[in-house]
With several copies, the nearest count.
Chain A
């Protein structure tokens, strides 16, 4: 596993919805090595405060070596990143973590909620490009309302992927939860579900898949200091007891391995 620490140039910064920002970085070495579900650690300050890097899923890469991250401004680090201007150099580490297992599945369903859609775009494009003939995954995206959801859908539509939408307030697509939409797809144990989003959403997806015996991979988040297995700070409890480390054992896990009650 080869990881790289690099200063890379910010090529473009876009506010794609209120408080949601997409950065495009010129990072050919990291982009070349990355697989969907992996992440990068980004330094947000020039000084010592904020001290730690921030983890972000790789949202998309392209053949010119550009790498995108998509994030919500929630605190000091993301605020700083949102203010960065084109031409600035950002220090990033990556690619980190294990990534999704694309398996053999011809019947993949990607279920994202809120910023959880970030890693799913890269995953969807990989499915389309797979060597043994591309497959078009099904994509279910959920958010609180139309304003949040619609800007996140565009990239999937541009790939020619139909998006099944669900909003909490019914202002767009299905009025309700992504799991309600997921139920209607009649997936089987031959299908695979890939999910990323708020914990309650992923727990619901997991429970549904468990009941229906559908394989399900989830990408989980924790606080991180190092992102590379050194600090042991990113523990998540395992069903079998003990802990896994999100940065090195994950961030993608078979949903059944994790202890969801916590």
Chain B
């Protein structure tokens, strides 16, 4: 692993997501960083703002049959099918390593019913290392639940309320971009008590193999991520920033510090790096170093000076 080469002692990169204090605004995106250990050879994990782990369900899930991924122009489709070890094994097998890292651990959860979300929140609230819960109401891959929760403001609010009731830690609701008006869902979950929103999850996409005349994914459709979707993500973050007053975490196609700072300017308090970590496993740390360098070179008092600092008109 490369040595840490950007001095950050004197820089103020701290941001808050409600009561959750982060040493800097750079997190991992759920499902793209495994359970963090996978990246220990590449990234100084203790430098991250927070680690967001793969989506966890009540019961273990085997996931979808292959092929599960396909590369597209500046992006990729995935239909992993939310393969995960289930909440019990997550707590017993994965949390010990994660909580020892010394950075906030945010657990992404998904359920098939409002009650499952509540149960997940309750189970995780018992695990002391969990700093916050990110509620995935937007995954497009599972037929039951996933889609409906994220596209219907009322359902999204119901899930938010249930999770809030189930736990004391900050609750971040992760929004789907596959909607006509993302601000409606954002406002609904804000009213329902969400401490923050994160966006965007993947756009729904598809690809076809001309040779076999079959879909490239066994699941037919999948989630589009990567640099290709960044303009859509940035627009939605900007729109939501005008609509809600809770903190926003920006996600979608972030591969460089410049990308990340665009999201901060648009109104995000923090960002998540997703697909970029597949291409460059050190992407999260590279984004962090780039932000730090910018804050130093521009002599900003803190990284918070960037948040929402977009100039219009």
Contact between chain A and chain B defined by CB under 8 Å: yes
B277 near A230: Cβ-Cβ < 8 Å: yes
A235 near B282: Cβ-Cβ < 8 Å: no
A2 near B83: Cβ-Cβ < 8 Å: no
A225 near B76: Cβ-Cβ < 8 Å: yes
Interface centre among A2, A226, A228, A262 (most CB of B within 10 A): A226
Please name the residue on chain B nearest to A233 by beta carbon: B69
Q: Is A243 an interface residue (CB 8 A)?
A: yes
Q: Mark interface residues in B58-99 (1 if CB within 8 Å of A CB, else 0).
A: 000011111111110111101010010000000000000000
Q: Is A163 an interface residue (CB 8 A)?
A: no
Q: CB-CB < 8 A to B280: which residues of A? A: 5, 91
B67 near A232: Cβ-Cβ < 8 Å: no
Alpha-carbon gap, A226 to B280, bound state (A): 9
Instruction: Among A51, A226, A228, A234, point to the contact of B71 (Cβ < 8 A).
Output: A51
Q: CB-CB < 8 A to A105: which residues of B? A: none
A48 near B227: Cβ-Cβ < 8 Å: yes
B38 near A52: Cβ-Cβ < 8 Å: no
B78 near A231: Cβ-Cβ < 8 Å: yes
B: which residues have CB within 8 A of A? 31-34, 38-39, 41-42, 54, 62-71, 73-76, 78, 80, 83, 226-227, 255, 275, 277-282
Alpha-carbon gap, A225 to B281, bound state (A): 11
A117 to chain B, nearest CB (A): 24
B62 near A243: Cβ-Cβ < 8 Å: yes
Alpha-carbon gap, A246 to B62, bound state (A): 15
Q: Is A53 an interface residue (CB 8 A)?
A: yes
Q: Is A43 an interface residue (CB 8 A)?
A: yes
Instruction: Among A5, A53, A93, A230, point to the contact of B33 (Cβ < 8 A).
Output: A230
Please name the residue on chain B nearest to A53 by beta carbon: B279
Q: CB-CB < 8 A to A4: which residues of B? A: 41
Please name the residue on chain B nearest to A1 by beta carbon: B41
Alpha-carbon gap, A2 to B1, bound state (A): 9
Instruction: Among B66, B69, B71, B281, point to the contact of A236 (Cβ < 8 A).
Output: B66
**A179-221 residues at the B interface, CB under 8 angstroms:** none
A235 near B63: Cβ-Cβ < 8 Å: yes
B99 to chain A, nearest CB (A): 20
A: which residues have CB within 8 A of B? 1-5, 43, 48-53, 91, 93, 222-226, 228-237, 241-243, 248, 262
B227 near A230: Cβ-Cβ < 8 Å: no
A243 near B74: Cβ-Cβ < 8 Å: no
What are 15 A-B interface contacts by the 8 Å CB criterion?
Answer: A2-B41, A3-B41, A4-B41, A5-B281, A48-B227, A48-B255, A51-B75, A223-B70, A225-B71, A228-B281, A229-B34, A230-B34, A231-B32, A231-B278, A235-B64
A249 to chain B, nearest CB (A): 13
A52 near B62: Cβ-Cβ < 8 Å: no
Instruction: Among B32, B64, B67, B226, point to the contact of A230 (Cβ < 8 A).
Output: B32
A51 near B80: Cβ-Cβ < 8 Å: no
List the 5 closest pairs (A to B, CB-CB), nearest first: A233-B69, A226-B278, A230-B34, A3-B41, A225-B278
Q: Quick one: given A233-B69, A236-B66, are A243 and B83 in contact (CB under 8 Å)? A: yes
B39 near A230: Cβ-Cβ < 8 Å: yes
B68 near A230: Cβ-Cβ < 8 Å: no
Please name the residue on chain A nearest to B253 by beta carbon: A48
A233 near B68: Cβ-Cβ < 8 Å: yes
Q: Quick one: given A228-B38, A233-B69, are A48 and B74 in contact (CB under 8 Å)? A: yes
A237 near B65: Cβ-Cβ < 8 Å: yes
Alpha-carbon gap, A1 to B69, bound state (A): 25
B33 to chain A, nearest CB (A): 6
B83 near A231: Cβ-Cβ < 8 Å: no
Q: CB-CB < 8 A to A91: which residues of B? A: 280
A223 near B32: Cβ-Cβ < 8 Å: no
B170 to chain A, nearest CB (A): 25
A52 near B33: Cβ-Cβ < 8 Å: no
